[in-house]
Amino acid sequence: MSILSRIFGWGAFATLILLLAGCVTRPTPVEPPPPAPREFRGVWVATVANIDWPSKPGLPVEQQRAELIAILDRAHALRLNAVILQVRPAADALYLSALEPWTEYLSGTQGRAPEPLYDPLQVWITEAHRRGLELHAWFNPYRARHHQAKSDFAPTHLAKTHPAVVKRYGELWWMDPGDAFAAQRTLDVVADVVRRYDVDGVHIDDYFYPYPIPQPLSPKAPKDAPREDVPFPDEPSWQRYLASGGQLARTDWRRQNVDQLVEQLYRTIHAIKPWVKFGVSPFGLGRPDRRPAGIEGFSQYDKLYADVELWLQKGWLDYLAPQLYWPRSQKAQAFEPLLDYWAKQNTAQRHLWPGLFTSAINDTPQSWTPEEILQQIAVTRSRPAASGLIQFSMAALMQDRRGIAEKLAAGPYAQPALVPPTPWLDAQPPPAPKLKRRADGKITVMPGKGKAAANYAVWRRQDRAWNFSVQPATDPVVEAGTAEAIVVSAVDRLGNESPRVTLLLKTP
């Protein structure tokens, strides 16, 4: 028997305990926060021709670094969650590579390393992850030289070391998709980057066989006379195929060449790192024989030999970003019917994240209005089959053309969002974190044992309302401020979310 019970007796002692318990402040439970917003919000950062970064070739390394930091800071401020960085513009490299020469868009001369030496891709990855952004490495699989290139081929460029696989086509130089060595070089380059760098995705765009060049008109021909295309010079690889017993028509053979590369990229990437997403951003018009009524225009199926519908059916990609670069009012290429078309083709239920032409907002009389992009975002959000989008390109957002960046930040991107999960690659969530309140009032987030988190989803309850934010796992300290409660979950790099943990800080 305790001293108090001896003094007061059992009944009085029990009454005293109840009275003392009433003096203790016990936070009452609050209703849980809503589900975390989910949307892929990507932006392309093009390096070819110095479209987005660096702003021009030959800049000092410190200025290159300052520009990339400014881009990532703007992406974070706009509440984007992914940057798609072009790392192989034309069989060259924006990173330390033993396979291909340094790109001219850094130093101004192909093959010349940055001075002092640094690895731009590694810096982009580190700084992107520090801001909670995904970094996807964007490769051009076949282009060997851009028509605006200024410097000569470096001695280590494919055009010098294996000239038979590189073809001149108009002002372009192009790797022959029918040449086995050219295809293997692209696979080797992508595999090298996936092995050595902590990228979140691998991305290719719409350049397969080159866009056709029309034959010049004869001087006496009328201006509106039909024009044949300049044939792509792949006769040697075509003859090798026939000699090996190949039976396909030439157009089907070309499509097969591209099909095989896409499938092999998908399988190669996931064999090395199963969590790295593979995305394709093709021209936005599908096969002519499947298009919705009223949709007309260029056929990538017949001209670029890209059978995108097949890739979707086979599941050879993790996300499709068709370039829907037309306004909603342009009936022959109308945004909404095209988005619905690609959703219908997506029988394997991969991510559908259309590409938007934000750079069409400019200072010309033909400029789009910012409202066109805002409405395209609204249309995309109205389609359950589409779970995000990608904007081309970062320059328009950095320059805040006609206020587009400001309108995005105040409107559709007012709240951050987690990337959608990719359950066919991995559906296992990370363990729940633990929360510890520090003496200074801040909250330390401690990871659970097991699968690592890439980010933390954080809800703060303030004035009886929940506010959501995303915080990189490399920054495990949460500012509590005057919040009444903090709720945190761990999110892995594929968007899988752990159970939530709650820390009540005061009585609501």
CATH 2.60.40 describes domain 434-504: yes
- Every domain of the chain with CATH number 3.20.20.80 lies at 40-219+227-410
**pLDDT digits over 307-351, tens only?**
999 999 999 999 999 999 999 999 999 999 999 999 999 999 999
Query: How much is the pLDDT for 36?
Result: 97
Mean pLDDT of 264-269: 98
- Please report, as a single letter, which amino acid is at residue 411: G
Task: Tell me how far apart the terminal alpha carbons of the chain are, to the nearest angstrom.
Answer: 39
Q: Mean of the pLDDT values across residues 479-490?
A: 95
Confidence of residue 508 (pLDDT cuts 50, 70, 90): low
CA contacts within 13 A on the Cβ side of 412: 22
CA distance 409 to 404: 9
Q: Would the pLDDT of 3 be above 70?
A: no
Its sign, for the CA torsion 47, 372, 208, 267, is: positive
The per-residue pLDDT for 159 is: 97
Q: Which pLDDT does position 97 carry in this prediction?
A: 98
Q: What is the largest CA-CA distance in the chain?
A: 121
pLDDT computed for residue 222 by the predictor = 78
Q: Residue 39: is its pLDDT beyond 80?
A: yes
pLDDT, position 6: 37
Q: Looking at residue 503, what is its pLDDT?
A: 95
Place of tokens 């706009």: 78
b (16+ CB within 10 A) / e for 372-388? bbeebbebbeeeeebbb
Q: Is the pLDDT assigned to residue 68 strictly greater than 60?
A: yes
Give the residue-averaged pLDDT of 295-305.
Answer: 98
Q: When comparing pLDDT for 474 and 15, which is higher?
A: 474
Average the pLDDT over 469-486 and give the result.
95
pLDDT at 431 over 70: yes
- Per-residue pLDDT tens digits for 12-35: 434 433 333 333 333 445 789 999
Position 227 confidence tier, pLDDT thresholds 50, 70, 90: confident
Distance separating alpha carbons of residues 344 and 52, to the nearest angstrom: 33
The whole-chain average pLDDT of the chain stands at: 93
pLDDT-wise least confident of 9-23, 224-238, 480-494: 9-23
Residue with tokens 């097991």: 450
Give the pairing of strands 434-437 and 443-446: antiparallel
**Lowest mean pLDDT, pick from 37-51, 207-221, 414-428:** 207-221
Predicted local distance difference test score (pLDDT) of residue 507: 67
pLDDT score for 216: 85
| Residue-wise pLDDT tens digits, 81-91 | 999 999 999 99
Give the pLDDT mean for 135-150: 97
**Residue whose entry in the numeric block shows the structure tokens 């709650």:** 502
Over residues 122-137, the mean pLDDT reads 98
Reference 393, options 38, 39, 53; nearest CA is 53
Half-sphere exposure of 359 (CA within 13 A, CB side): 14
According to CATH, the topology of domain 40-219+227-410 is TIM Barrel (3.20.20)
Amino acid making up residue 40 = F
Are the beta carbons of 184 and 155 closer than 8 angstroms?
no
What mean pLDDT is predicted for residues 29-45?
93
Q: Is the pLDDT of residue 489 over 90?
A: yes
Using alpha carbons, select from 447, 474, 472 the residue that is nearest to residue 458. 472
Q: Cite the residue boundaries of each domain of the chain with CATH code 2.60.40.
A: 434-504
**DSSP letter string, 185-241:** HHHHHHHHHHHHS--SEEEE-S-SSPPP-BPPPPTTS-TT---PBPPPS-HHHHHHH
pLDDT at residue 2 greater than cutoff 60: no
Q: What is the pLDDT of residues 154-177, one digit of tens each?
A: 999 999 999 999 999 999 999 999
The span from the CA of 181 to the CA of 162, in Å, is 9
Q: Looking at the predicted structure, is the pLDDT value of residue 239 above 70?
A: yes
Average pLDDT rounded to a whole number, residues 369-393: 98
Dihedral angle of Cα 47, 51, 54, 58, to the nearest 10 degrees: 100
